[in-house]
């Protein structure tokens, strides 16, 4: 199916990325940390379900806890867990639909229309558009508000699997560097009514506390 055609919900697999080392969380499994009494990954799964046809979780430890979320769990196929790109590659390897939508496990308030808006941007981008990513307003150190890309919130076509594998095997680790090779479409989430904290992520225990008590 060409990107210029509408992308149906059933043609998108959602992937929750929970396979990181949790370094800034002290090495704990970030996706299983509690937010409002429930694991962060559970929030992400529930928020994805109505947006896509199928949901997967990428995890590399504590598999029974992730399997208890009721969706298939896929581990990195590459050794040493080399960052979110490895999780994205695993998602592409297990994706049974033309499109994969990735979200991190630590951003429980991501937009409920994320998939629809990224898909619409790809449909408008022509037959060669294969990646769309979100961007969101952020106040910089100079006090000015700018749109910052959120590259892990990414809708991509399964045909990019080989490209991603080669990029990682060549030492690439930055999501933005890889997506730039394919002319990713950037979709701003700055409309009136868009939640200002939709892309706030819990990298540290302090961040998680800030999410619990805004």
Find out whether 99 and 12 touch, Cβ atoms under 8 Å: yes
Tell me the C-alpha distance between 37 and 84, whole Å. 26
**22 annotated binding-site participant:** no
Go through 160-177 and write b for each residue having 16 or more CB atoms within 10 A of its CB, e for each that does not.
Answer: bbeebbebbeeebeebee
**18 annotated binding-site participant:** yes
Shortest CA distance to 19 belongs to which of 90, 69, 95?
90
**30 annotated binding-site participant:** yes
**207 annotated binding-site participant:** no
**60 annotated binding-site participant:** no
**174 annotated binding-site participant:** no
* Ramachandran sector of residue 34 (left: φ over 0; alpha: ψ -120 to 50; beta: rest): beta
**17 annotated binding-site participant:** yes
Known binding positions for Mg(2+): 106
Known binding positions: 17-19, 30, 58, 76, 106
Known binding positions for GTP: 17-19, 30, 58, 76, 106
């Amino acid at each position: 199916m060409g990107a210029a055609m509408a992308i149906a919900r059933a043609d998108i697999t959602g992937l929750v990325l929970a396979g990181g080392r949790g370094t800034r969380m002290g090495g704990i499994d970030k996706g299983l940390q509690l937010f409002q009494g429930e694991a962060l990954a559970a929030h992400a799964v529930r928020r994805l379900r109505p947006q896509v046809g199928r949901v997967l979780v990428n995890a590399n430890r504590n598999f029974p806890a992730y399997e208890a979320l009721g969706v298939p769990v896929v581990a990195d196929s590459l050794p040493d867990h080399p960052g979110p790109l490895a999780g994205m590659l695993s998602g592409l390897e297990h994706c049974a639909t033309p499109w994969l939508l990735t979200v991190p496990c630590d951003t429980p308030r991501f937009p409920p229309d994320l998939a629809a808006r990224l898909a619409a941007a790809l449909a408008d981008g022509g037959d060669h558009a294969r990646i769309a990513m979100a961007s969101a307003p952020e106040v910089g150190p100079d006090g000015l508000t700018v749109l910052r890309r959120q590259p892990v919130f990414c809708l991509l076509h399964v045909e990019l699997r080989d490209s991603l594998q080669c990029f990682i095997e060549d030492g690439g680790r930055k999501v933005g560097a890889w997506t730039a090779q394919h002319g990713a479409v950037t979709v701003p989430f700055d409309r009136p009514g868009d939640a200002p904290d939709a892309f706030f992520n819990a990298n540290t225990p302090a961040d998680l506390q800030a999410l619990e008590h805004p």
